[in-house]
Amino acid sequence: MEERRAGAAGALRPVRAVPKEGRMSVRVRYCECDAMGVAHHAAYLPWLEMARTELLREAGVTYSEMEGAGCFLVIVKVEAAYKSSAFYDDVVEVRTRVTGGSRIKIRHEYEVVRVEAAGAGPGTITPVRVPTAGDVLLTAQTLLACVDRTGRPAALPDWLAGA
């Protein structure tokens, strides 16, 4: 693998095309739930971040390599609509799409979908409707801006701005 840490963010190059969309599965962990076995609303944001960084990884670039090259992506806006609850031990899939941006910003859209319902365990609430695979749990959008090491706005690398 080529050396990608030296130089500016422009010197960092993916080994494959940056995908426009991706999917990542995660099992809802006990630590992400309240006492009733429902995933806390704050648990979803790390899942979105994990899905975004996996898109980069699929192109052969890690977020730490981007930071090493002086390119930092910071969240400037998050919008989320919670549709249904995720429960402890459910498997959810985070579906991510790059939907636009500019020379400095990149926008993603997400859908978090239950792909495996674990069923109500001890201590969980009895849901109004039985959780099933295919339930859309959340739709969301994020807008990220590229900044340099000083926190000032910077241009995205060309290969990422084109994503």
Residue 1 has pLDDT above 60, yes or no: no
Within-domain flag for 13: no
Within-domain flag for 80: yes
When divided into structural domains, the chain yields a total of 1
Whichever domain contains 61, its CATH number is 3.10.129.10
Within-domain flag for 59: yes
CA separation for the pair 157, 12 (Å, rounded): 8
Within-domain flag for 1: no
pTM for the complete prediction? 0.85
pLDDT-derived band at 3 (thresholds 50, 70, 90) equals very low
Within-domain flag for 140: yes
Within-domain flag for 9: no
Residue 155: domain span: 21-161
